[in-house]
Amino acid sequence: MAPQHLDSELKLLKDNVLELMFLVKNQLEKGQKALDDFDEELAHEIMANEKRVDSLELTIDRDCENLLALYNPVAVDLRFVMAAFKINSDLERIGDHANSIAKYIADFGRKIDEDTLETMRLDKMYNTANEMVSNVFNAFITEDTDLARKVFRLDKTLNKINREVSGATAELIEADISQTQNYLYLFSIIRKLERVGDLTKNIAEELIFYIEAKVLKHKKMKSKNNNGNDK
């Protein structure tokens, strides 16, 4: 066993995952800006960056495979590699959603009026999703599981908005049927951001698995007063 080599390989893996996380976080934030400002150029930039997301995903997959095959990590090292492997996949899918949203924005063809944005609660949805991704990013850097746990509560906010906005979308369509396609685009963005929330929650669970060796997946919230400490 070569612990120094193992440590440097693990650090490289962490750096790569952080780079991907940072990239995906930016993709999502740029998406919000592109939507708010109807910035087609920025939307195209997001689409162009998708290649970097895919490329980094492949690099991280290879890093994980090499670490498992060559170093046989155990205990906390094994949990880290397993978590990194799953987080990698979650990040790539968040990147896909950011890319799809950018395509909608580019296809939309005009700035969305403030009232519609307000009714569809897109800013609240985006702000919450961005906060979740920022939390897991910082939690990964600092290995702070309390911060990671905060995303569980935020995910509930996204789920709630997602449920409520379907009714609002129907009302908007009824009021102006000629805008049906555009409203459906916007509703698709809401749905994609809700999925971003689910994926970010998965990342938080993986971080907790790696740091605390606790499996939170598929567990129900134990009580209302535990501040998202369990799910």
| 167 near another protein, judged by CB under 8 A | no
Smallest gap from residue 78 Cβ to another protein (A): 7
Smallest gap from residue 79 Cβ to another protein (A): 7
Nearer to another protein, 81 or 112 (CB): 81
Provide the b/e sequence for 137-158 (b: ≥16 CB within 10 Å): bebbeeeebebbbbbbebbbbb
- Tell me the site size for another protein, rule CB under 8 A: 13
| 215 near another protein, judged by CB under 8 A | no
**Start-to-end CA span in the chain (Å):** 38
CA distance 60 to 38: 33
Nearer to another protein, 77 or 206 (CB): 77
Nearer to another protein, 72 or 180 (CB): 72
Nearer to another protein, 10 or 20 (CB): 10
Q: What is the identity of the amino acid at 3?
A: P
3-state secondary structure of 217: coil
CA distance 13 to 60: 7
CA distance 16 to 53: 11
| 6 near another protein, judged by CB under 8 A | yes
Smallest gap from residue 76 Cβ to another protein (A): 6
Nearer to another protein, 3 or 167 (CB): 3
| 3 near another protein, judged by CB under 8 A | yes
**What mask, x for binding another protein by CB under 8 A, covers residues 42 to 81?**
------------------------------xxxxxxxx--
Nearer to another protein, 13 or 193 (CB): 13
SS3 of 141-190: the string is HHCCHHHHHHHHHHHHHHHHHHHHHHHHHHHHHHHCHHHHHHHHHHHHHH
List residues near another protein by CB under 8 A. Answer: 1-3, 6, 72-79, 213
